C-alpha cells in the first residue's frame, strides 16, 4: 500500500532540475540535436521504435535524448506518448515481398533468385575499435553499382513450391490486439507475434539462445533475412479506397526448422517468423526462433519443459515496460507496508524470546 | 475530377505522404484560401504484417499519421493522410489533392509532384545501387568437364 506523503515536492523539483542539468552534461561540449541522434544513432532509434511499438524516428530520437540514452526509459516515453493519440485505423498487411531491399541474405540457398545482398552490415568486421571515428574522420561514401530493380521473391517460396514447407493458412480475420485487450492465455500465433515484436530485445534474444543451447531445440536455419522499406497502405473510408500513408523500414526473418508430418502428410519443414520495425536483425532472428519454439503444441511436439516453450512465461515477461514498471515500483515509498512488517517481526521475536524464557524456567 | 483516376490519385497521395515536410513546403510555400472540413489531427495507424509474409495478419505496431480534409474556395475537397506529426505536411498534401482536381492539375503536377517523383526515384536508385555494390558474386570452381 502507498500513502500520500507530503514534503517531497521541493526535493523532487530540485532532483528534476539536476537531471536536466546532467542531461546536458559538460557545457563546453556541443549539444546533441535530435536530428543527430536520428541520423547517427539510427539503430538505437530503431530499437526504441520497435519496443515502443510506434514508428516515428524523430520521436524516438527525442525520447533517447530526454532519457539520456537509457533506451528502456526512452521506450517508456514513447509508450506513454502513444496512449495520448487517437487511432485512425489499421493498415492493409504490409507486403514484404515488395520491399525495397537493402539487405537480403539466405543461409540455406547460395544462389537464391535476387542474390545475396549484404547491405550495411557489421558482419565480417573485426570488431576492433576504430579510433579514426574519434578524430573527426571523413566518412567514406558508399560504393555504387548499376542496378536493376531487385526482384527478390521470398526464398521459402521455392521450398513451398516443392511442397517441402509447412503450408501457411492465409486469411483476413482481424487479429487480436494486446494494446486493446489484456494479453490472456492461451495466446494464438498473431497475438504471440505482436507481443514478441514489441518485446525486449535482450529477453527475446536470451530465450532464442536458450533454444539453440538445447532448451527446446528447433534446429533453425535462417531461410531468409531481409531488411528494407515497405509501403504502408490504409483504407480511407472517406475516399473509399486504400492509399499509401507512408513507408517504414522493416527487418524480416524466416527460419526453416525441422520436420512435421503424419500418416497422411509427408514430412515437411516448419517455419518460424520474425518481423520487427527498423533495422534489427538480432531481434528478428530471435523472434523467429522463439515463435517456432512456442508452436510445439500445434506441431504435435513434446513439451520438454523448456522456458521458450512456455507461452505464459515468455509473453508475460518479454515486455520491458511492464517489467521495469513493476520492478522499479518497489523503490517507491512503502512506509506503511514496511511498518506492518516491522511490527510483525517484533511480535515474532517477542514470542520466541518468551518461549525461551519459559523453556529455561521449566 | 473527371480525368482523375483512382490509380492516379492513389499514386500522388502516396507520393505526398512519403515526401519530407520541408521539401513540400519549399515547393508549395503559399497556401490558397481554404476552409477546414477536418483540422489537422495527429494519430496512429496500426501496421499489420502477415505470419510468414503471406499467412494470417498480425499487429506489428503503430506509426504516427496526420490527417486533415479541407475545401478550396471553389468547393473542391482535398484529403490527406501522411506519415509523421507535421500538420503543415498534411495541410499541403490535402491542398495538392484538391488542386489536382481543378483546372490547375497540369501546373501542380509539373511544379510539385514531378520534382517529388524525380527526387524519390533518385533516392531509390541510390539505395538500389548501394545495395547492388554489396551483392555477393560467388566464384565457382570448375570441376570436371562440362
Interval A120-171: pLDDT, tens? 999 999 999 988 888 877 888 999 998 876 677 888 888 888 888 888 887 8
Nearest by CB: A118 against B50, B63, B136 = B136
Is the peptide bond preceding residue A186 cis, with omega within 30 degrees of 0? yes
pLDDT, average across residues A339-361: 91
ipTM: 0.92
- Number of structural domains (chain B) is 1
Say if CB B73 and CB B33 are below 8 A apart: yes
Specify if B18 maps to a domain. Answer: yes
Three-state secondary structure string covering A145-184 = CCCCCCCCCCCHHHHHHCCCECCCCCCCCCCCCCCCCCCC
Specify if B143 maps to a domain. Answer: no
The cell for B12 is 500522388
Specify if B90 maps to a domain. Answer: yes
Interval A271-318: pLDDT, tens? 999 999 999 999 999 999 999 999 999 888 889 999 999 999 999 999
Q: Does position A22 have pLDDT exceeding 90, yes or no?
A: yes
- Which domain does B14 fall in, by range? 6-133
Q: Which contacts of A4-13 are long-range, i.e. CB under 8 A and separated by 24 or more positions?
A: A5/A333, A5/A335
Name which of A220, A243, A249, A256 to mutate to probe chain B: the one with the most chain B Cβ atoms within 10 A of its Cβ.
A243
Output DSSP code: residue A305: -
Q: Does position A2 have pLDDT exceeding 80, yes or no?
A: no
Contact partners, residue B51, CB within 8 Å, separation at least 6: A168, A189, A190, A193, A273, B57, B58
What confidence score (pLDDT) does residue B17 get? Answer: 96
Specify if B60 maps to a domain. Answer: yes
The interface residues of chain B toward chain A in range 97-116, judged by CB-CB distance below 8 A, are: none
Pairwise CA distance, residues A209 & B2, whole Å: 59
Whole-angstrom CA distances from A146 to A111, A117, A240, B65 are: 20, 14, 40, 35
What confidence score (pLDDT) does residue B145 get? Answer: 64
What confidence score (pLDDT) does residue B1 get? Answer: 47
Nearest by CB: B43 against A86, A194, A198 = A86
What confidence score (pLDDT) does residue B138 get? Answer: 77
Name which of A148, A232, A315 to mutate to probe chain B: the one with the most chain B Cβ atoms within 10 A of its Cβ.
A232
Nearest by CB: A236 against B79, B128, B136 = B79
Q: Which residues of chain B are under the pLDDT cut of 70?
A: 1-3, 140-142, 145-146
Contact partners, residue A187, CB within 8 Å, separation at least 6: A176, A195, A311, A315
Specify if B93 maps to a domain. Answer: yes
Pairwise CA distance, residues B30 & A96, whole Å: 38
CB contact, 8 Å: B5 with chain A? Answer: no
Specify if B17 maps to a domain. Answer: yes
Say if CB B36 and CB B21 are below 8 A apart: no
What confidence score (pLDDT) does residue A115 get? Answer: 87
Specify if B64 maps to a domain. Answer: yes
Specify if B141 maps to a domain. Answer: no
The answer to which of A39-43, A146-150, A171-175, A353-357 has the lowest mean pLDDT is A146-150
Amino acid at each position: 500500500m502507498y500513502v500520500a506523503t507530503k514534503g517531497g515536492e521541493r526535493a523532487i523539483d530540485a532532483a528534476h532540475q539536476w537531471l536536466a542539468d546532467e542531461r546536458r552534461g559538460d557545457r563546453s561540449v556541443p549539444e546533441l540535436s535530435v536530428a543527430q541522434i536520428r541520423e547517427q544513432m539510427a539503430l538505437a532509434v530503431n530499437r526504441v521504435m520497435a519496443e515502443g511499438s510506434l514508428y516515428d524516428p524523430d520521436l524516438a530520437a527525442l525520447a533517447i535524448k530526454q532519457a539520456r540514452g537509457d533506451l528502456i526509459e526512452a521506450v517508456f516515453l514513447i509508450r506513454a506518448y502513444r496512449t495520448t493519440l487517437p487511432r485512425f485505423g489499421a493498415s492493409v498487411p504490409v507486403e514484404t515481398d515488395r520491399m525495397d531491399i537493402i539487405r537480403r541474405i539466405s543461409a540455406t540457398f547460395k544462389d537464391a533468385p535476387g542474390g545475396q545482398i549484404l547491405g550495411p552490415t557489421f558482419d565480417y568486421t573485426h570488431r576492433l575499435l576504430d579510433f579514426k571515428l574519434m578524430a573527426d574522420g571523413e566518412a567514406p561514401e558508399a560504393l555504387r553499382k548499376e542496378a536493376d530493380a531487385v526482384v527478390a521473391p521470398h526464398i521459402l517460396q521455392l521450398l513451398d513450391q516443392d511442397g517441402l514447407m509447412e503450408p501457411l493458412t492465409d486469411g483476413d480475420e482481424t487479429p487480436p490486439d494486446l494494446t486493446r485487450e489484456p494479453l490472456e492465455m492461451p495466446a494464438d500465433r498473431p497475438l504471440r507475434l505482436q507481443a514478441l515484436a514489441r518485446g525486449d530485445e535482450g529477453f527475446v534474444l536470451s530465450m532464442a539462445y536458450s533454444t539453440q543451447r538445447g532448451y527446446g531445440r528447433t534446429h533453425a536455419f535462417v531461410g531468409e533475412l531481409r531488411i528494407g522499406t515497405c509501403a504502408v497502405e490504409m483504407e480511407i473510408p472517406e475516399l473509399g479506397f486504400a492509399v499509401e500513408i507512408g513507408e517504414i523500414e522493416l527487418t524480416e526473418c524466416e527460419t526453416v526448422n525441422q520436420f512435421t508430418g503424419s500418416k497422411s502428410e509427408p514430412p515437411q519443414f516448419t517455419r518460424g517468423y520474425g518481423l520487427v520495425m527498423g533495422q534489427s536483425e538480432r531481434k528478428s532472428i530471435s523472434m523467429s526462433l522463439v515463435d517456432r519454439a512456442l508452436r510445439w503444441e500445434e506441431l504435435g511436439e513434446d513439451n520438454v519443459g523448456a522456458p521458450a516453450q512456455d507461452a505464459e512465461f515468455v509473453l508475460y515477461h518479454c515486455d520491458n515496460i511492464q517489467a521495469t514498471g513493476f520492478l522499479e515500483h518497489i523503490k517507491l515509498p512503502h512506509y506503511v507496508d514496511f511498518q506492518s512488517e516491522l511490527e510483525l517481526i517484533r511480535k515474532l521475536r517477542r514470542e520466541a524470546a518468551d518461549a525461551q524464557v519459559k523453556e529455561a524456567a521449566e | 475530377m473527371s480525368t482523375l483516376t483512382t490509380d492516379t490519385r492513389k499514386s500522388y497521395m502516396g507520393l505526398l505522404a512519403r515526401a519530407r515536410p520541408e521539401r513540400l513546403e519549399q515547393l508549395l510555400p503559399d497556401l490558397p484560401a481554404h476552409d477546414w472540413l477536418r483540422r489537422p489531427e495527429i494519430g496512429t495507424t496500426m501496421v499489420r504484417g502477415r505470419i510468414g509474409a503471406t499467412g494470417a495478419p498480425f499487429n506489428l505496431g503503430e506509426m504516427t499519421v496526420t490527417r486533415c480534409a479541407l475545401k478550396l474556395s471553389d468547393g473542391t475537397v482535398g484529403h490527406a493522410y501522411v506519415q509523421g506529426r507535421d500538420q503543415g505536411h498534411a495541410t499541403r498534401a490535402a491542398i495538392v489533392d484538391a488542386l489536382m482536381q481543378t483546372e490547375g492539375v497540369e501546373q501542380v503536377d509539373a511544379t510539385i509532384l514531378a520534382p517529388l517523383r524525380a527526387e524519390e526515384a533518385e533516392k531509390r536508385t541510390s539505395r538500389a545501387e548501394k545495395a547492388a555494390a554489396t551483392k555477393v558474386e560467388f566464384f565457382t570452381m570448375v570441376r570436371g568437364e562440362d
